[in-house]
Every structure is written in C-alpha cells, then in structure tokens.
Structure 1
Amino acid sequence: MPGVYRPQADTRLVAEALAQETVLPGAEVLEIGTGTGALALQAARRGARVTAVDVSWGAVASARLNAIRQRLPLRLLRGDFASVLGGVRFDLVVTNPPYVPAPEDGLPARGPERAWDAGRDGRAVIDRICERAPALLRPGGVLLMVHSGMCGAQETVDRLKDAGLTGDVTARAFVPWGPVLRSRRSWLERQGLADRAEELEELVVIRAQRF
C-alpha cells in the first residue's frame, strides 16, 4: 500500500532474531509499529496470539490485508502503543520503530515520514518504548528492538537496565545508506551523527528481558 514502510534490512535483521526466540503456541505477542505486518505475521505463523499496533491507518489496512491473504489471525489496533493496549502484558514484544534523526524536534503528524523520522537524535520513540517496556512485558517476557547505531545502542541498553530489564545487543549488520540518510548527510555531519566518508549504516538488535 502506498506510504506504508516496506520490509527492508532492519526488518530482516529483527526477523532473524525473532526466529531464534521460543514462541509457544498461544503465546501473547505484540508488534509496535507493524507497517505491513511482516513481523506480526511471522509470529502468528508460529501459533502465537498476536496484537499489532500502528499510528497509521494505511499500515493497519495493509497489515489486515496481508493477514487475510495469508489466512492468519491478527488483532490490529490503530493508535499510540502506550494508550491503546489497556494494560495487557505480553510474552514477547517486537518492534522496528522510527529511528532516523531528523532536523525537526517533534514527530511528523502525517505522511510516510512517520515510519522513520524520530526527532533530532532519532530516539523519540525508542526512549518511550524503553520506558514502557516493563509495563508491556509479563515476567520472563522479552523485547526485541532494532534501530540504527546512530541512535546509540548503549544508551538503549542502559535505559532498559534502568527500567529494570536485562539488555544486550544481540545482532549487528552494516548496510548501505538509504535515500533518507543520503539526503541528510550534511545535517548529520554537522550534528556529529555521521562522518564525512561514512557510507554504511550500522543496525543493531537489542534484546531485553523482564524477570
């Protein structure tokens, strides 16, 4: 569907991490920022009861259509993950949140940029997920989150630990800069977020667990 973020290298990286997790039939799984529903449907194929959330009506419609095509059950909610879940806790939370540093302080209210722009340091959504993670996870529950190394992987690990979870970087990959980063090269260099000769973006998967 036009304007919906399609699975790319970051989606594939966290999908590989998801494939390594134990997902028992009937496990409660949440995907934050589902987009096309790729990760949610991956969990649903393993017998999980999956809830998928996105702020974009287009993403919700796209994920619903893909679920129908694949004949997989998916509970879809449109809105902010912190307000639409009603206190439900999950065995596994997986997310590929917006994380691209942007010249604007706030998050975009509309347009495809909602899928990637995340404030000047790229952490506007990441930090909210770190803060809310303990309230989203059951005891023993796991969070899998992918984001750019530009945002500071260690800061994410530290925030999760401050929230009472364990946290570690469990996977890394280096991919060529995409068109959004290339269009912002000068600004990223001025912000100290990229070097002049940098051509590859580091992606990280962070795994955290609540005990």
Structure 2
Amino acid sequence: MVADTAAPAGPGHLMTLPGVYAPQDDTGLLARALCRETIGPGTDVLDLGTGSGALAVHAARLGARVTAVDIAWRAVLTARLNAMLARQRVTVLRGDLTSAVPGRTYDFVASNPPYVPSPSGQLPRRGPARSWDAGQDGRAVVDRICDAAPEVLRPGGVLLMVHSALCDTDATLARLSGAGLETTVADRARIPFGPVLRSRRTFLRGQGLLDAEDLEELVVIRAERI
C-alpha cells in the first residue's frame, strides 16, 4: 500500500515518498465522486489527510481553491511537491485534521482517512501504518471527521469521505445524520484484499467482519449540510 521508492512525477503521475500513502482504489473512487459534484472557480475545498496530495491536485485541476492538511511532515512535503509538479496552486498545512484551519469553512471537504481495523487499540504515531491503522473497529479517525464536518461545512456544503465497509458504513451514516447532515452512499466498489488485509484475515474473521470471499467493499459517503 506504500511505495518503497519515489515514483516518477509528470503529467498524470505523482511522487510518493517512502512512508506516504500511495494513491490506490480508494483514492480513485473518491476522485470520481468529486468529479460528479459542482466544483469550479470560486469553490473552496478542504482535503483532510491528504497523503500524496492526489485528491488536492485533482480538485485544483477542477478549478477549486484547495487547502490540504496532513499530520505527517513527509506527506506535507510530498503534497507540496506534487502540487508544484502539476502546476496547481494548493495550500498544504501540517496539522491534526481541522485543527489546522480554525474558524474556516468550505464548500467541500474530502477525506480518505485511515480506516483499517487493527488488532492493536493503539494508533501508530509514525511509519506507513499511520496511513491505514485506525483502532480495533477502524473508526478512530472516521468518527472524528464525522464530528468535525458540520463545523467546517458551509450551508449547502458537502463532505465526501471514502472508507471500507469493514468499519461499518451504517455507523458513519448514522453519526453524520445525527449531526444534522443529509447522508447517502454515493458510490461503492468491491476490490481484492491488499497485503494489509490479507495479513489480518484471522483477526478480521475473529471480529465477524469477513465472509468467505477475500473482497473488500469500499464506500464513498456523501453528507450535505442543508
């Protein structure tokens, strides 16, 4: 799930430094969801947990004014480099989710957060696992984004967040609905397990999260502030 070496940058390519999450199926699913929204000049977009900056650069290409946030310095550097190489203007900040943008609001918030259930209840503080490990139920970061979204969305603003069904799609919808947002599943995709999930089959089956197939369902949650 993480590139061991930097990939070549150029048209359609992104640099991914060691330890930074490389764009994958979840990134592409969320990018397609963004394309279905009305995003253009004058639209303010916040990308939470930007990683390589792939979504931030994508939104900037659609004409948006983009702010991207990540807690990891390597991700911040990677996103800045990718924005520069793509010749797109993106403001990249280091911080813990919305604490990096106090008092600001946006038309769209996009996020591909860590969401993989982990045998450890402790969140990693460094290393590549920080990009995917999210506590035993996979909701350590997802729940925080659900709680923060109403404060950073303008009226009519939209949160688009991708995560695995392994961390409970219904729980995300209920949490956002309870915060007063209008929610739906905007897209779904079933993909083969990657190396992290393959290594956790026994744990996930013990949690009752797996059936016989080694397929993961990804979902894009859309939540609108009415």
| Alpha-carbon offset, residue 104 of structure 1 | 1.3
Query: In the aligned structure 2, how far is the partner of 1:68 from the partner of 1:174?
Result: 33
Gaps of 5+ in 2: 1-16
The answer for the alignment partner of 1:137 in structure 2 is: 153
Gaps of 5+ in 1: none
Which of the numbers 18, 27, 51 marks the counterpart of 2:67?
51
The answer for the alignment partner of 1:63 in structure 2 is: 79
Query: In the aligned structure 1, how far is the partner of 2:149 from the partner of 2:102?
Result: 14
Number of residue pairs aligned between Structure 1 and Structure 2:
210
Query: In the aligned structure 2, how far is the partner of 1:115 from the partner of 1:155?
Result: 21
**2:115 aligned with 1:127:** no
The answer for the alignment partner of 1:200 in structure 2 is: 215
| Alpha-carbon offset, residue 8 of structure 1 | 0.4
Task: Give CA-to-partner distance per residue, 1:30-50, whole Å, 9 cap, x none.
Answer: 000101111111111122110
**2:203 aligned with 1:187:** yes
The answer for the alignment partner of 1:209 in structure 2 is: 224
| Alpha-carbon offset, residue 83 of structure 1 | 1.5
Percent sequence identity over matched residues? 61
Which of the numbers 90, 97, 115 marks the counterpart of 2:106?
90
The answer for the alignment partner of 1:29 in structure 2 is: 45
Task: Give CA-to-partner distance per residue, 1:5-59, whole Å, 9 cap, x none.
Answer: 0110000001110010001302110000101111111111122110000111111
- Amino acid corresponding to residue 200 of structure 1 in structure 2: L
| Deviant stretches of 4+, over 3 Å | none
- Amino acid corresponding to residue 22 of structure 1 in structure 2: T
Query: In the aligned structure 2, how far is the partner of 1:130 from the partner of 1:81?
Result: 11
Secondary structure of the corresponding residue to residue 206 of structure 1: strand
Secondary structure of the corresponding residue to residue 46 of structure 2: strand
Query: In the aligned structure 1, how far is the partner of 2:209 from the partner of 2:182?
Result: 27
Report the RMSD for the aligned CA atoms in angstroms: 0.8
TM-score (norm 1): 0.98
The answer for the alignment partner of 1:4 in structure 2 is: 20
- Amino acid corresponding to residue 87 of structure 1 in structure 2: G
Task: Give CA-to-partner distance per residue, 1:174-202, whole Å, 9 cap, x none.
Answer: 0000000010111111111112x221100
Query: In the aligned structure 2, how far is the partner of 1:173 from the partner of 1:119?
Result: 23
Query: In the aligned structure 1, how far is the partner of 2:73 from the partner of 2:42?
Result: 27
